[in-house]
């Protein structure tokens, strides 16, 4: 597994004291000046002598500068200055690559302090040190020449600290911390196979290779959040004057509530997918299409009540976008831990119309929540039946060799049902 896959970036907001802000500003200015001076050097070498200057050349010049001029030496840490030169080098590489590709990119330009986004710090311990607190959630950054700065963030996981960035945006300071997280164990307990489908009543209906059900209900707070958001939306629409302060306040409240729901939903999806990825080495679901990325709002429209339109809109916002998010995070986690992911071809397989026991295909109405096979009499929850079809197909379509690599132990001895082929 490549190391890059295990590098995680987390942003911490920095809370410097007024004195530290002064020192940070001076540091930023010194990097900006270095960047512009290096750009100037490249341009004049090219225009005067037709000579191109490399990153290595500029590092040598920097060493000389630092030896001759104390203000360069005192301005910033050497490896940090080298990383600013590297940044310029990357801008040039990207510029030439795009020229070569026949595009007309903008030439790397001189940067004003306002447009200069920040600088990098290299080896941890060399001029900087981040000390995490609260299990990596927050911490403090010790920066040479500036001091100890309070940092607040939302990291989920710690690790070995690597080269990171200090960013300045809209008058605020941030630390974009890069950590190398331990690569997840391949020899995990995950040895099962799972296929799943979505529903309106139940968030996820899954079937495992031993035929057991793995279901996830809609969290109760979704309904509560939805009702609260409807109230806030009504509060906005009761204030038609777009310029009134009361309306602005209501709009702000609504936006804050929406952002909170989005955060909560992301947390929930992370938790659920992490738990499942730890259990299953092979996961199959219908391929993601625009249609099945959202769950049909018709589930609520079938029982029309008050505020149908508003509810349908919010349903989309709060519930229906969750499957797409869920599947992309789930897929990422399964593949990251060396598992196998199978996308079933919806149009060819027709999982929601097919009987998982006898493979007979019959159209269902959306309102029909049970699968009742007219041929073999098999009865089951509609979404579970559909997941079972996907699982049978996935176990059939993946070769024995590939299956062995996922660590699933002879699934064909205990298939969810007799195996079938798609004709
Ligand atoms: Zn049947």
Strand 370-372 to strand 213-216: parallel, antiparallel, or no bridges (unpaired)? unpaired
The pLDDT of residue 366 is: 73
391 burial (CB, 10 Å; 0-12 / 13-18 / 19+) is buried
Tell me the CA–centroid distance for residue 251 and ligand 1, in Å: 53
Tell me the CA–centroid distance for residue 359 and ligand 1, in Å: 6
Distance CA 406, CA 192 (A): 9
Tell me the CA–centroid distance for residue 420 and ligand 1, in Å: 12
Tell me the CA–centroid distance for residue 382 and ligand 1, in Å: 13
The pLDDT of residue 184 is: 55
Tell me the CA–centroid distance for residue 372 and ligand 1, in Å: 8
Tell me the CA–centroid distance for residue 378 and ligand 1, in Å: 5
Strand partners, 354: 361
Give the CA distances from residue 384 to residues 309, 319, 320, 355, in Å, rounded to whole numbers and listed in that order: 29, 19, 19, 11
Distance CA 319, CA 201 (A): 11
Tell me the CA–centroid distance for residue 379 and ligand 1, in Å: 8
Distance CA 164, CA 187 (A): 31
Tell me the CA–centroid distance for residue 385 and ligand 1, in Å: 10
Q: Where are the beta strands (DSSP E) in 108-251?
A: 118-121, 128-133, 138-143, 147-152, 160-169, 172-180, 192-198, 204-208, 213-216
Residue 175, SS3 per DSSP: strand
Other CB atoms within a 10 A radius of the CB of residue 340 amount to 20
Tell me the CA–centroid distance for residue 135 and ligand 1, in Å: 53
Distance CA 135, CA 316 (A): 35
- Binned average pLDDT, 10 residues per bin, the chain of 423 residues: 60 94 95 94 88 92 90 89 95 87 85 92 94 90 95 82 92 91 59 86 89 90 84 90 90 88 88 92 80 45 47 58 84 85 87 90 85 92 92 78 51 43 40
Tell me the CA–centroid distance for residue 357 and ligand 1, in Å: 5
With beta carbons less than 8 A apart as the criterion, state whether 164 and 5 touch.
Answer: no
Tell me the CA–centroid distance for residue 358 and ligand 1, in Å: 4
134 burial (CB, 10 Å; 0-12 / 13-18 / 19+) is exposed
Compute CA 213 distance to the chain's CA centroid, rounded to the nearest angstrom. Answer: 28
Strand 379-381 to strand 370-372: parallel, antiparallel, or no bridges (unpaired)? antiparallel
Length of the chain: 423
Distance CA 331, CA 286 (A): 12
The pLDDT of residue 230 is: 86
With beta carbons less than 8 A apart as the criterion, state whether 260 and 345 touch.
Answer: no
Tell me the CA–centroid distance for residue 361 and ligand 1, in Å: 8
Tell me the CA–centroid distance for residue 215 and ligand 1, in Å: 22
Q: Quick one: CA dihedral 92, 54, 125, 146, positive or negative?
A: negative
Element (H, E) at 208: strand 204-208
Q: Which residues contact 240 (CB under 8 A, 6 or more apart)?
A: 247
Strand partners, 340: 282
Tell me the CA–centroid distance for residue 208 and ligand 1, in Å: 19
Tell me the CA–centroid distance for residue 399 and ligand 1, in Å: 26
The pLDDT of residue 191 is: 78
Tell me the CA–centroid distance for residue 200 and ligand 1, in Å: 24
Strand partners, 138: 133, 152
Compute CA 9 distance to the chain's CA centroid, rounded to the nearest angstrom. Answer: 11
Tell me the CA–centroid distance for residue 294 and ligand 1, in Å: 28
């Amino acid at each position: 597994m490549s190391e890059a896959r295990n590098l995680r970036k987390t942003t911490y907001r920095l809370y410097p004291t007024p004195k530290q802000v002064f020192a940070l500003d001076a540091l930023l200015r010194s990097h900006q000046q270095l960047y512009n001076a290096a750009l100037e050097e490249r341009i004049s070498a090219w225009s005067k002598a037709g000579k191109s200057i490399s990153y290595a050349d500029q590092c040598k010049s920097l060493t000389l500068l630092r030896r001759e001029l104390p203000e360069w030496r005192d301005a910033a840490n050497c490896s940090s200055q080298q990383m600013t030169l590297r940044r310029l080098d990357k801008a040039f590489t990207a510029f030439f690559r795009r020229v070569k590709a026949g595009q007309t990119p903008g030439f790397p330009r001189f940067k004003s302090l306002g447009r200069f986004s920040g600088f990098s710090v290299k080896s941890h311990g060399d001029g900087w040190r981040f000390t995490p607190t609260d299990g990596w959630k927050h911490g403090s950054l010790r920066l040479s020449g500036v001091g100890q700065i309070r940092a607040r963030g939302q990291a989920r996981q710690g690790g070995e600290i690597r080269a990171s960035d200090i960013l300045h945006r809209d008058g605020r300071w941030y630390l974009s911390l890069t950590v190398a997280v331990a690569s997840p164990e391949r020899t995990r307990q995950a040895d099962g196979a799972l296929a799943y489908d979505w529903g309106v009543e139940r968030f996820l209906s899954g079937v495992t290779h031993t035929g057991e059900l793995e279901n996830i209900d809609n969290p109760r707070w979704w309904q509560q959040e939805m009702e609260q958001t409807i109230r806030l939306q009504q509060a906005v629409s009761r204030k038609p004057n777009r310029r009134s302060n009361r309306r602005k306040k209501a709009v702000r409240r609504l936006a804050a509530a929406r952002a909170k729901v989005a955060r909560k939903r992301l947390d929930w999806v992370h938790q659920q997918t992490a738990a499942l990825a730890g259990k299953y080495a092979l996961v199959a679901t219908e391929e993601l299409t625009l249609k099945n990325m959202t769950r049909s709002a018709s589930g609520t429209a079938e029982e029309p009540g008050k505020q149908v339109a508003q509810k349908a809109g919010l349903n989309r916002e709060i519930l229906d976008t969750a499957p797409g998010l869920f599947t992309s995070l789930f897929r990422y986690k399964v593949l990251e831990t060396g598992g196998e992911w199978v996308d079933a071809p919806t149009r060819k397989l027709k999982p929601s119309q097919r009987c998982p026991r006898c493979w007979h295909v019959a159209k269902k109405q959306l309102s029909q929540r049970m699968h009742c096979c007219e041929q073999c009499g098999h009865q089951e929850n509609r979404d579970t039946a559909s997941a079972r079809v996907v699982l049978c197909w996935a176990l059939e379509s993946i070769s024995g060799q590939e299956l062995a690599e996922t660590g699933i132990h002879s699934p064909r001895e205990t298939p969810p049902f007799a195996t079938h082929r798609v004709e």
